[in-house]
Amino acid sequence: MGQELYDDFLRYLCPTSVEPLGLVIERAEGCFLWTPEGRSILDFISGIAVSNVGHGCPEVLRAIRAQVERHLHVMVYGEMVQEVQVAMAQRLAEITPGDLTTAFLCNSGAEAIEGALKLCRKVTGRPRIIAFAGGYHGDTLGALSLSGEPRYRKPFEPLLPEVHILPFDDPDALRTIDEQVAGVVVEPIQGEAGIRVPGPDFLPTLSARCQEVGALLILDEVQTAVGRTGRWFACEHWGVIPDCLVLAKAVGGGMPLGAFIGRPELMHTLSIDPPFAHVTTFGGHPVSCAAGLAALRVIEQDGLMKNAEAMGAYLRHAISALPGVEGVRGMGVLLGVVLEEPSLTRAVLRLTLERGLLLGDFLNADGVIRVAPPLVVSQELCDQAVEVLAESLKVARKR
């Protein structure tokens, strides 16, 4: 059954690379994926920072079932009052910093970035957008225009004009941000750049500079939010409050959901001159909102942010000590393992998977391994993963 399905996967689905992971998945629960043959795989990438509450979380499944019984899609976003959508937006207003109390709900990270880009143009009337080297914000044309990796931009040019890319984590370079700038889009911790955590001054300096020149600070927390770094949002580690916060991935509890959230006076500009300046059919789908709300509840009730912090520190300490590892970067369970020999990355990933552990690489970084288990991960599973990684590194380095 597995082989036939795999062949059809190759035949009918548009590929995104010449060597897809190609794991056939039968079911998933907690920190594990299962193949049709009954092989279990320890998932240490969480569907790329999505499954923060683990796979098949009972509370999330219950909330989905209850919402399905009530209603699915009823109308395009923004027209009808759907209780679950209101509850989701209200909960986001409660947990986000400052007075980020108005949420536009959409379907994905790239879509949320597109909305944030339109917001900063609409609010300021200015042309220019600033983004950062190494950054990743999605693959729609607007989001791709912000890519800090030229090889992904190149085949699709011309992209958005007036996008300037600055070096990441260089407070001095921020002086070039001037009154021409509508918005600055930045990940507080760069994800696809191989988990790059900026120094203490970068984000506060950036925030101050944006305020000085009247540009909107847009924080892309698609990968960093919803407890993964040990706080609801990574920006809390620096005490920085953006003008607009961009979310997706884990915020839907495993269902597609995105959001860009800002102060009311900024967000309300999208409803006038002209009305319907930004709309979406499926944005804030009721089933996604139900799942996301349940996930937020579980993260809080089960103390998952504390666990993310503790397990992250534990993994970091253990992995740093392994032969072949140059260092471990990150916060909470958002980690990048820098290998001494970058060319071994693919071999190490193949070897860990053969031994039942799923790790990953990054779009914009070579020689770094992605370690991002669900926030529910236990110390026992961390030990298991470290053991497999140690063994795989040993085998790869001997070859």
User: For residues 54 and 256, which CB has a smaller minimum distance to ligand PMP in the complex?
Assistant: 256
Main-chain dihedrals φ then ψ at residue 336, nearest 5 degrees:
-120, 120
* One residue of 222, 251, 328, 358 binding ligand PMP per CB under 6 A: 222
Contact 354, 391 (CB under 8 A): no
Contact 144, 163 (CB under 8 A): no
Counting Cα atoms < 13 Å in the Cβ hemisphere of 353 gives 18
User: For residues 257 and 389, which CB has a smaller minimum distance to ligand PMP in the complex?
Assistant: 257
Rg (Cα) of the chain, in Å, rounded? 21
Give the footprint of ligand PMP on residues 81-120 (CB under 6 A).
108-110, 113
Cβ-count burial 363-373 (b if 16+ within 10 Å, e if not): ebbebbbbbbb
Which parts of 279-373 are beta strand (E)?
325-331, 334-339, 357-358, 360-362, 365-371
List, as one string, the DSSP characters of 154-205: GGG-S--SSEEEE-TT-GGGGGG--TTEEEEEE-SSBSTTT-B---TTHHHH
Nearest CA-CA partner of 143 in 127, 123, 129, 125: 129
User: For residues 192 and 309, which CB has a smaller minimum distance to ligand PMP in the complex?
Assistant: 192
* One residue of 54, 115, 134, 138 binding ligand PMP per CB under 6 A: 138
Contact flag: residue 361 with ligand PMP (CB under 6 A) = no
Contact flag: residue 149 with ligand PMP (CB under 6 A) = no
Give the footprint of ligand PMP on residues 237-256 (CB under 6 A).
248
Q: Taking the complex as a whole, how short is the minimal distance between the CB of residue 251 and ligand PMP, in angstroms? A: 10
Contact flag: residue 187 with ligand PMP (CB under 6 A) = yes
Total residues contacting ligand PMP (rule CB under 6 A)?
15
User: For residues 50 and 386, which CB has a smaller minimum distance to ligand PMP in the complex?
Assistant: 50
From CA 286, how far away is CA 70, in angstroms rounded? 10
**Three-state DSSP class for 352?**
helix
Could you count the other beta carbons within 10 Å of the beta carbon of residue 74? 9
Q: Taking the complex as a whole, how short is the minimal distance between the CB of residue 330 and ligand PMP, in angstroms? A: 14
Q: Taking the complex as a whole, how short is the minimal distance between the CB of residue 280 and ligand PMP, in angstroms? A: 13
**360 token code pair:** 């990953």
Q: Taking the complex as a whole, how short is the minimal distance between the CB of residue 155 and ligand PMP, in angstroms? A: 18
Stretch in the footprint of ligand PMP (CB under 6 A) among 11-19, 60-68, 131-139, 326-334: 131-139
User: For residues 210 and 222, which CB has a smaller minimum distance to ligand PMP in the complex?
Assistant: 222
User: For residues 128 and 228, which CB has a smaller minimum distance to ligand PMP in the complex?
Assistant: 228
Q: Taking the complex as a whole, how short is the minimal distance between the CB of residue 51 and ligand PMP, in angstroms? A: 14
User: For residues 102 and 107, which CB has a smaller minimum distance to ligand PMP in the complex?
Assistant: 107
Contact flag: residue 261 with ligand PMP (CB under 6 A) = no
| Beta-sheet strand order (sheet of 258-262) | 102-106, 258-262, 244-247, 216-220, 181-186, 128-132, 163-166
Q: Taking the complex as a whole, how short is the minimal distance between the CB of residue 137 and ligand PMP, in angstroms? A: 5
Work out the widest C-alpha separation in the chain, in whole angstroms. Answer: 65
* One residue of 191, 198, 284, 286 binding ligand PMP per CB under 6 A: 191
* DSSP 8-state assignment for residue 30: B
Contact flag: residue 336 with ligand PMP (CB under 6 A) = no
* One residue of 55, 118, 128, 137 binding ligand PMP per CB under 6 A: 137
Q: Which residues contact 266 (CB under 8 A, 6 or more apart)?
A: 102, 119, 123, 216, 243, 244
User: For residues 2 and 156, which CB has a smaller minimum distance to ligand PMP in the complex?
Assistant: 156
**142 token code pair:** 């607007």
Q: Taking the complex as a whole, how short is the minimal distance between the CB of residue 112 and ligand PMP, in angstroms? A: 8
User: For residues 216 and 222, which CB has a smaller minimum distance to ligand PMP in the complex?
Assistant: 222
Name the residue number minimizing CB distance to ligand PMP: 109
User: For residues 138 and 227, which CB has a smaller minimum distance to ligand PMP in the complex?
Assistant: 138
Q: Which residues pair with 247 in a beta bridge?
A: 259
Could you count the other beta carbons within 10 Å of the beta carbon of residue 120? 25
User: For residues 3 and 16, which CB has a smaller minimum distance to ligand PMP in the complex?
Assistant: 16
* One residue of 124, 145, 223, 307 binding ligand PMP per CB under 6 A: 223
Chain residues binding ligand PMP by CB under 6 A are 48, 108-110, 113, 136-138, 187, 191-192, 220, 222-223, 248
